[in-house]
Amino acid sequence: MTQHLADALPTSTGTQPGWWREAVIYQVYPRSFADSNGDGMGDLEGIRSRLPYLKELGVDAVWLSPFYASPQADAGYDVADYRAIDPMFGTLHDADAVIREAHELGLRIIVDLVPNHCSDQHEWFKQALREGPGSPLRERFHFRPGQGADGSEPPNDWESIFGGPAWTRVADGEWYLHLFAPEQPDFNWEHPAVQDEFRSILRFWLDLGADGFRIDVAHGLVKAPGLPDLGRDEQLKLLGNQVLPFFDQDGVHEIYRSWRLVLDEYAGDRIGVAEAWTPSADRTAMYLRPDELHQAFNFHYLNTGWDAEALRATIDESLDSMRPVGAPTTWVLSNHDVVRHRTRFGTLGKARAAALLMLALPGSAYVYQGEELGLPEVVDLPDEVRQDPSFFKANGQDGLRDGCRVPIPWSGDQAPYGFGTGGSWLPQPAEWAGLSVEAQTGDPDSTLELYRSALRVRRAHPALGAGDGVEWLPAPAGVLAFRRGDFVCTVNTTDEPVRLPAPGTVLLASGDLADPDVLPADCTVWWQG
């Protein structure tokens, strides 16, 4: 038997305030979730139609990646209008319908906010180009004269995250800063108009009913004074922890303190979630002081391999760093920027075990669409279908983020597997027929039913969810064992079975548990201790 559920579980009392302290938040990548109009691209109406699936899955909130008006130079992270919906996704009415119906189902909605940069088609930037050097509008971005006798060299040596210089020269000779694609000029957050505009954008979406914001590149808004040279020849990493003059500057915290005041104007625990790549967990915790944001993605955990010693060290460091600021630790295995964890870890068994470990840890967990189906990374996409901007930069990132963005399978035995009636913007593998929601529903051995069971137990068990620590138990090498109240989790990260006396009654197992005193290879078991 693959998984077990106790007949009866105690009911959680949920006395700690703040739904976000223990929430399981599901990331929807809109273009790849569900297509309602047959154009091959997912949309808001598709999301709305699938909200009952997310309710049944057992998540608490849904984070929507960008759906704003955008030329789509970087999959919507180049925003032309923060108060409008891109026609490929629908209308503002559709966004309102998603939020309203989610609330009716008891789900919360977190929208993606992109404050570090906008699109080069944003009205502010287009006007800044028209008005030329010295324009007040140019002060809202980072325009600079070039270096060299004729100004033909970039203002400094900063590299774009996507490869190449972080500067582009315009027709009048000035250069503008873009830490990402040239179509994504960085805002100058020293300018009060930029600060005022984003507080207004926050209120626009809060008024529409959004429950919070995932803040893209939250660590990048403030640049070091004078924009000093990096001083070394080093390609930047999109998801790294380098110490850099344009990331994790102390000035960002004043911005988030002002945002917290806006969030607190609204009832219902509206939250801010930082995508903050920092050099250490302690630096990440600074974003979560009581007067700043509520959560930050735990990328240190995401980057930890399937190794018991490394996982224990990361778990301890993560919990220890959040405790002084009173913030919940978050846990995440996959997202739209990284190789899916089934492929990173190498097997479905490891991915299932990793999921149960993550969901047993104290705090909040993030689930990326499709991981509950056990989807692998699509590694063999033809070059001509790829859209990741860094794919086209010879010296940039690996450019392979499209592999985790392939539209997910819902039903049927051939592509597009119920995603829509008009194909899918990225091709889906033939083997996904057996991984669809329809194929896995009702199969007790499926990954989908494992996630459903895990989320049901997590919601019901009073020892799971919110918390700030675990009690480690003695365990053989390669095995993790910890207690939370009367709940015990055991994890075997080795490729061999390990004898470990059963600490209680089995609640759930990620693999086949023939003998309760033998922990199978690459398996996690939940126990009622």
Please identify every residue annotated as catalytic: 216, 265
**Tokens representing residue 218 in the block:** 């939250």
CA quadruple 300, 65, 161, 404: dihedral positive or negative? positive
Distance CA 58, CA 55 (A): 5
Answer for the pair 294, 20: CB distance below 8 angstroms, yes or no. Answer: yes
The angle at the Cα of 463, spanning 284 to 357, to the nearest 5 degrees, equals: 60
Determine contact, residues 406/378, Cβ cutoff 8 Å. yes
Residues 267-290 as b or e (16 or more Cβ within 10 Å = b): eebbbbbbbbbbeebebbbbbbbe
Q: What is the DSSP string of 340-363?
A: -HHHHHSSHHHHHHHHHHHHHSSS
Task: Give dist(CA 388, CA 390) in Å, integer.
Answer: 5
Determine contact, residues 223/245, Cβ cutoff 8 Å: yes
Measured over the CA atoms of residue 499, residue 500, residue 501 and residue 503, the dihedral's sign is negative
Instruction: Give the span between the Cα atoms of 413 and 14, in whole angstroms.
Output: 42
Look at residues 488, 445, 477, 476 and name the one whose alpha carbon lies nearest to residue 348: 445
> Which residues, 6 or more positions from 209, have their beta carbon under 8 angstroms from its beta carbon?
96, 99, 100, 103, 109
Q: CA separation (Å) from 271 to 168, 202, 206, 442?
A: 35, 11, 10, 35
What are the φ and ψ backbone dihedral angles of 200, each rounded to 5 degrees?
Answer: -65, -40
Region of 398 please: left (phi>0), alpha (psi -120 to 50) or beta.
alpha
Residue found by looking up tokens 């104290």 in the block: 362
Label the pairing between strands 505-509 and 479-484.
Answer: unpaired
Peptide bond preceding 416: is omega within 30 degrees of 0, i.e. cis? yes
Q: What is the DSSP code string of 459-474?
A: HH-TTSSS-S--EE--
Burial 197-218 (b: 16+ CB within 10 A, else e): bbeebbeebbeebbbbbbbbbb
Q: Which amino acid is at 373?
A: L
Helices (H), 347-472: 348-360, 437-440, 447-460
